């Protein structure tokens, strides 16, 4: 029996691919022991037990960004975290560690190296996090979701995705999806969304230009986010919803998507072969623009800066795209060539290679 330790967490970007790989390992071998290492503070503390996996925890020890009291205490706290994970690896007979970034990953990589246990790194973003930069230096395998991610020894494997996305048959599900949102399956549909909390810029732009979308002969499915107060004009063909818990149905109905460009979002849209307009989140270190870069280069998507997305820009650039069937068809073909639905299997193949050595 093989014992796997999957390390990572903090945000959905780390937890969701971790859980996809955990599910893949368990589906392949029910006798395998799949353990998860995370922190008590991260999203994994809730999601991992809900999915039926045992969560082992390690102290959250952020890398210091400036010389202060926390920086002075960092070396001791980090060494304690590594020692704690080493004890877990020995006690549970861990055969291989798979890291996805986040606070739990860095001590897991170093503990595995010191225990001479192979470890594999998966990086979801085009701009890698510090933990994975560190881990890639000694990893038995490094998988990345996006081509060109600057990690040593990286292999493009795609993103481990939710099964409902991987297995989605959009054509077969389109009628169900249209009925779910109160729209017409026979009309082309533009999906606009900015995440569970929404995106003010997207809401403002399409709140001012939704009539132009409808005048182009399209429907608009607008997911505004739970915190939005955008009014619903109750117009035929314009579905305003605060939150969607069935994104598979939203994607099944979509002929074009306008969204942020988080790593999972880009990976899911490409995997489904949907042309896209990405509006990267302007806060952060620019990773969302980098996540979309390969899709833009391939011709599967176009990029509009957050500050530039206005109702006028929607009318001037996105509405003409709705009327250009040939261009959208070319984008759809490019997305189909770019997308990877086998991210979970590809990461597991890296793990098998590491174990075989």
pLDDT at 67 over 80: no
Q: What is the pLDDT of residues 92-103, one digit of tens each?
A: 999 999 999 999
Please state, rounded to an integer, the average pLDDT across all residues of the chain. 94
Instruction: Identify the pLDDT of residue 197.
Output: 62
Region 210-224: mean pLDDT is 97
Instruction: Identify the pLDDT of residue 18.
Output: 97
Round to whole Å and give the CA distance between 118 and 109: 9
To the question of whether residue 125 is assigned a binding role by annotation, the answer is yes
The answer to whether 213 and 319 have CB atoms below 8 angstroms apart is yes
Round to whole Å and give the CA distance between 10 and 234: 38
To the question of whether residue 313 is assigned a binding role by annotation, the answer is no
Region 226-246: mean pLDDT is 92
Instruction: Identify the pLDDT of residue 292.
Output: 96
The answer to whether 155 and 350 have CB atoms below 8 angstroms apart is yes
Query: What percentage of the chain carries pLDDT values higher than 70?
Result: 99
Region 158-187: mean pLDDT is 97
Region 180-187: mean pLDDT is 98
Q: Which domains does the chain have, with CATH numbers?
A: 3-161+341-356 (3.40.50.2000), 167-338 (3.40.50.2000)
Query: What percentage of the chain carries pLDDT values higher than 90?
Result: 85
Round to whole Å and give the CA distance between 322 and 299: 16
Q: What is the pLDDT of residues 310-338, one digit of tens each?
A: 999 999 999 999 999 999 999 999 999 99
To the question of whether residue 152 is assigned a binding role by annotation, the answer is no
> pLDDT confidence of 72, banded at 50, 70, 90?
confident
Q: What is the pLDDT of residues 266-314, one digit of tens each?
A: 999 999 999 999 999 987 778 899 999 999 999 999 999 999 999 999 9
**Among 190, 146, 158, residue whose Cα is nearest residue 296:** 146
pLDDT at 83 over 90: yes
CA distances from 188 to 207, 224, 331 (A): 19, 20, 15
To the question of whether residue 288 is assigned a binding role by annotation, the answer is yes
pLDDT at 346 over 90: yes
Instruction: Identify the pLDDT of residue 63.
Output: 76
Instruction: Identify the pLDDT of residue 228.
Output: 86
To the question of whether residue 162 is assigned a binding role by annotation, the answer is yes
Instruction: Find how far residue 63's CA is from the centre of its chain.
Output: 23
Identify the three-state secondary structure at position 333.
helix
Question: With 0-12 CB in 10 A as exposed, 13-18 as middle and 19+ as buried, what is 172?
Answer: exposed
Identify the three-state secondary structure at position 191.
strand
Round to whole Å and give the CA distance between 167 and 77: 43
pLDDT at 256 over 70: yes
**Among 196, 203, 186, 280, residue whose Cα is nearest residue 240:** 203
pLDDT at 114 over 90: yes
The answer to whether 78 and 103 have CB atoms below 8 angstroms apart is no
Instruction: Identify the pLDDT of residue 104.
Output: 95
* Partners of residue 239 on adjacent β-strands: 221
pLDDT at 175 over 90: yes
Range with the poorest average pLDDT among 184-193, 286-295, 346-355: 286-295
Instruction: Identify the pLDDT of residue 196.
Output: 65
Region 261-269: mean pLDDT is 95
């Amino acid at each position: 029996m093989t014992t796997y330790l999957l390390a990572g967490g903090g945000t959905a970007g780390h937890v969701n691919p971790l859980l996809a790989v955990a599910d893949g390992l368990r589906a392949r071998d029910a006798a395998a022991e799949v353990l998860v290492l995370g922190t008590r503070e991260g999203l994994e503390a809730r999601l991992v037990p809900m999915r039926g996996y045992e969560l082992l925890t390690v102290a959250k020890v952020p890398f210091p960004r400036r010389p202060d009291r926390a920086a002075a205490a960092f070396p001791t706290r980090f060494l304690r975290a590594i020692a704690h994970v080493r004890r877990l690896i020995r006690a549970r007979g861990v055969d291989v560690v798979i890291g996805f970034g986040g606070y739990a990953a860095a001590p897991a990589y170093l503990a595995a190296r010191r225990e001479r246990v192979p470890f594999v790194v998966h990086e979801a973003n085009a701009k890698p996090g510090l933990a994975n930069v560190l881990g890639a230096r000694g990893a038995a395998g490094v998988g990345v979701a996006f081509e060109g991610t600057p990690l040593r020894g990286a292999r493009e494997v795609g993103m481990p995705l939710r099964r409902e996305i991987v297995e989605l048959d959009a054509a077969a599900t389109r009628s169900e999806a249209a009925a779910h949102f109160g729209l017409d399956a026979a009309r082309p549909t533009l999906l606009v969304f900015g995440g569970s909390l929404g995106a003010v810029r997207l809401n403002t732009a399409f709140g001012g230009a939704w009539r132009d979308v409808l005048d182009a002969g399209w429907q608009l499915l607008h997911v505004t986010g739970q915190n939005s107060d955008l009014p619903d004009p109750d117009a035929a063909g314009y579905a305003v919803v605060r939150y969607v818990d069935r994104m598979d149905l939203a994607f099944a109905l979509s002929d074009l998507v306008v969204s942020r460009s988080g790593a999972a979002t880009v990976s899911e849209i490409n995997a489904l072969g949907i042309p896209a307009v990405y509006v990267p989140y302007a806060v952060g270190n620019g990773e969302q623009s980098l996540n979309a870069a390969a899709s833009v280069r391939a011709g599967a998507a176009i990029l509009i800066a957050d500050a530039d997305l206005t109702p006028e820009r929607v009318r001037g650039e996105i509405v003409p795209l709705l009327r250009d069937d040939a261009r959208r068809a070319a984008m759809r073909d490019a997305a189909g060539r770019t997308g990877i639905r086998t991210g979970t299997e590809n990461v597991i193949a890296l793990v098998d290679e590491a174990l075989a050595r």
